[in-house]
Amino acid sequence: MTERRMRSAGITLGLTALMAASLTGCSSGDQPDYAAICVDPQTQTRTDDDECKDEREYHGSGAGFFWFYMATRGNGYVPAVGSRYNAGQGTYTIPRTGSGGSGSPTIRRGGLDRKGGDIGTITRGGFGKSGKGSSGG
């Protein structure tokens, strides 16, 4: 009887540790390497995500709206919709490597706070906000 309880407690403890490890892994793994905001390069202002209908790259000419890619691990700042962005904080070219310089990057286009703020506070489904230990807002 005692051996049975110990085995049960061991299994419960193991499952708890496994769940904690998987949640920790989810929270760090959900942070994309790059987050993209929809912009108008002619006016250098952020626009609504709905204006960017495809993944065209801006190469210094052409009209329309384009995705502007910013690394999420560099204390970047996302402007509010309608505000100017800093062209030096990102690129119009789709990143081909992770922000650490290796592997395929994960990219999230749109979905950043319309009011602007820290790029590290990307909203994720199920676990609230994250990045730099932020717990919401």
Domain count, the chain: 1
Q: Can you give the residue range of the structural domain that contains 39?
A: 34-121
Report yes or no on 92 lying in a domain: yes
Please write the tens of the pLDDT for every residue from 69-94. Answer: 999 887 778 999 999 999 999 999 99
For residues 6 and 22, what is the distance between their CA atoms, to the nearest angstrom? 24
Please write the tens of the pLDDT for every residue from 20-64. Answer: 444 444 444 577 899 999 999 999 999 999 999 888 999 998 899
Report yes or no on 90 lying in a domain: yes
- In this structure, are residues 57 and 130 in contact, taking their beta carbons and an 8 Å threshold? no
For residues 9 and 3, what is the distance between their CA atoms, to the nearest angstrom? 10
Report yes or no on 126 lying in a domain: no
Report yes or no on 80 lying in a domain: yes
